Amino acid sequence: MSDDELTDDPIHRRAAAAAAALIDSFEDLDVEADLDSTRHGPQPFVAAPATRRWLLAAAALLIVAAGTVALVAVSNNQAPDSDLSPATPQPTVVPLPSAPTSPAATASTSVPESTTTTSVARSTLPIASVSYLDPPPELTLRPLASLDVPAEESGSYSVAVGDLGVAVSQWTYSDDSVQRLDVVDFSGESRSFPDFGGNALLAYGPGDVLYMTQQGTSIEEFAVVAVALGVDGATEVRRERENVNLFLEYPPMSFGHTATGVVHRRDYLADESPIIDYVNIDGQPVTLVDAPPTFRFETAEQAGAGLGGTILSSLGTSWTVAVDAAPDRAYTYVGISPPAPGTDGHGIYVTHIGSNADPSTDFGAPSGWVIADLQPGGTATWWSVPDGWGVVASDAWGTVLGRRAGATLELAFVDFP
């Protein structure tokens, strides 16, 4: 519609008039009083102090087009199921702990055993830069577990991290696909659920409930389901039919938590209601308070390129990160993961800066993976991911890296200094 046609549109004229009247009606605001209140009143929106960890749920999905899918969920010793079982239909509030008790929650304040090089952060406000010419120091990893998974050519896995631990769903590509779920808590203790029906994990928690996709026998049957984990096995407690196209070919960490349910991290701030609302193991609704912030790039172009830009959080913090990548950098088929929450109010942003490690393939093989640790104050620090490892999940309980070697998957947490 041209401008002239628009001007002649009665609905356009009516909308403009109604909007003008609405704006005029706010001219009576006591701007100076509200400004003073904003400047000197309580400031509830600053990031939580380091000693007050978020007890939040979030998860990560790794769907890689060529068949590399990973999702994990982690658990600690808090929040027994009974705490998530309301006596009435009212939503249950999952409270914040006054002090962290899980290894993951204390990660940033512990002194990790250094197995790789660490050094002083080099990037601060206003722009945190990273360059392939001078890669940042390597991250220190804290091993969590080793699991048997299908070899790369015969199957895949997905990973999500939550308040109770790290979950790994795996399956083979054959028609009689073998599926299994492993859950490892923060102490390294694991539970295994054989014949686990489901595919990629979207999120783990709050509580011992997994959110995952389920293919069904036709596109129409595709759904996101909530599965409660109990001593007798896994039980579906909620199901939402979904459009399969929304769940294809996403990079790791594409899904996470808000106060009421699981959302697309990439899309949440633009347009989303939860994909699926939280439930407890009895299928009753639960709600998170102080849910982890969501993150996004200022523009869609920045988000897709993996070359930095301005990252905005739902708490109002912003970071500007600059990426100087090798001229022959590869491109990933599934794109760059959206920024995701980390522990202690931090966020992370993952990209790659090295040369194409396999120019013979269509998209090549990325190398030189790096992580920006987005700190609550608006500063950021870059770190290199050790060779062979990749970020498979990140949430308020930890950032999880994975390394696949044959039919073994190694998992480790990152401890940002």
Check residue 1 for interaction with other proteins (CB under 8 A).
yes
Long-range contacts of 357-364 (CB under 8 A, 24+ apart): 357/330, 358/330, 359/328, 359/330, 362/333, 363/330, 363/331, 363/332, 363/333, 364/330, 364/331
What phi and psi, each to the nearest 5 degrees, are found at residue 216?
75, -170
> In this complex, which beta carbon is closest to other proteins, that of residue 21 or of residue 133?
21
CB of 229 to other proteins, least distance (A): 24
Phi first, then psi: give them for residue 18, nearest 5 degrees.
-65, -40
**Identified binder of other proteins from the candidate list 19, 66, 151, 405, rule CB under 8 A:** 19
Residue 243's CB is within 10 A of a number of other CB atoms, namely 9
The residue with tokens 């054989």 is 194
Name which position in 316, 324, 361, 388 contacts other proteins (CB under 8 A). Answer: 316
49 touches other proteins by CB under 8 A: no
Contact between 387 and other proteins by CB under 8 A: the answer reads no
Measuring CA to CA, how many Å separate 262 from each of 152, 179, 202, 407? 28, 23, 8, 30
* Residues 122-141: x where in contact with other proteins by CB under 8 A, - otherwise, as a string: ---xx---------------
Q: Considering only residues 76, 287, 351, 375, which one is a binding residue for other proteins as defined by CB under 8 A?
A: 287
> Both tokens of residue 207?
């509580």
Is residue 407 close enough to count as binding other proteins by CB under 8 A?
no
- Tokens for 54, please give them: 């978020």
Token look-up 């129409």 returns 220
Q: How far is the CB of 22 from other proteins (least distance, A)?
A: 5
- Looking at this protein, which amino acid is placed at residue 233? G
Among 84, 312, 336, 411, binds other proteins (CB under 8 A): 312
Q: Of the candidates 7, 31, 248, 324, which one interacts with other proteins according to CB under 8 A? A: 31
Residues 71-110 that bind other proteins (CB under 8 A): 89-91
Counting residues that bind other proteins (by CB under 8 A) gives 57
Q: Which of 4, 44, 176, 243 binds other proteins (CB under 8 A)?
A: 44
Segment interacting with other proteins, rule: CB under 8 A, options 103-111, 114-122, 240-248, 313-321: 313-321
Taking the complex as a whole, the smallest distance from the CB of residue 314 to other proteins amounts, in Å, to 6
Nearest to 55 by CA among 284, 291, 286, 400: 291
> What are the CA-CA distances from residue 59 to residues 11, 48, 165 (Å)?
43, 20, 11
Considering the complex, what minimum distance in angstroms separates the CB of residue 317 from other proteins?
5
User: Counting contacts by CB under 8 A, is residue 15 touching other proteins?
Assistant: yes
**One-letter amino acid of 327:** P
CB of 149 to other proteins, least distance (A): 35
Q: Is the peptide bond before 386 cis (omega within 30 degrees of 0)?
A: no
- The stretches of 67-217 forming alpha helices (DSSP H) are none
Examine residue 39 and tell whether it contacts other proteins (CB under 8 A).
yes
**Contacts by 36-43 with C-beta closer than 8 Å and gap 24+?**
none
Instruction: Give the footprint of other proteins on residues 241-260 (CB under 8 A).
Output: 259-260
CA gap 210, 181 in Å, rounded = 10
Near other proteins by CB under 8 A, which window of 229-237, 309-317, 337-345, 399-407? 309-317
Q: Tell me if 327 contacts other proteins by CB under 8 A.
A: no
Q: Rule CB under 8 A: is residue 2 a binding residue for other proteins?
A: no
User: Contact at 8 Å (CB) between 413 and 159?
Assistant: no
Q: Which one of residues 26, 220, 243, 327 is an interface residue with other proteins (CB under 8 A)?
A: 26
DSSP letter assigned to residue 28? G
Of the residues 68, 177, 215, 310, which one makes contact with other proteins according to CB under 8 A: 310
Cα(191)–Cα(85) distance, integer angstroms:
22
Of the pair 274, 386, the CB lying nearest other proteins is at 274
The Cα 341–Cα 229 span in angstroms is 25
Considering only 57-65, 225-233, 308-316, 362-370, which stretch makes contact with other proteins by CB under 8 A?
308-316
For residue 19, the minimal CB distance to other proteins (Å) is 4
Which listed residue (2, 4, 43, 362) binds other proteins by CB under 8 A? 43
Three-state SS for 179?
strand
Instruction: Count Cβ atoms within 10 A of the Cβ of residue 36 and give its class: 0-12 exposed, 13-18 middle, 19 or more buried.
Output: exposed
Work out whether strand 308-313 and strand 318-324 pair parallel, antiparallel, or are unpaired.
antiparallel
Give the residues lining the site for other proteins (CB under 8 A). 1, 9-12, 14-19, 21-23, 25-27, 29, 31, 34-35, 37-39, 43-46, 89-91, 125-126, 259-260, 269-274, 285, 287, 296, 298-300, 310, 312, 314-320, 378
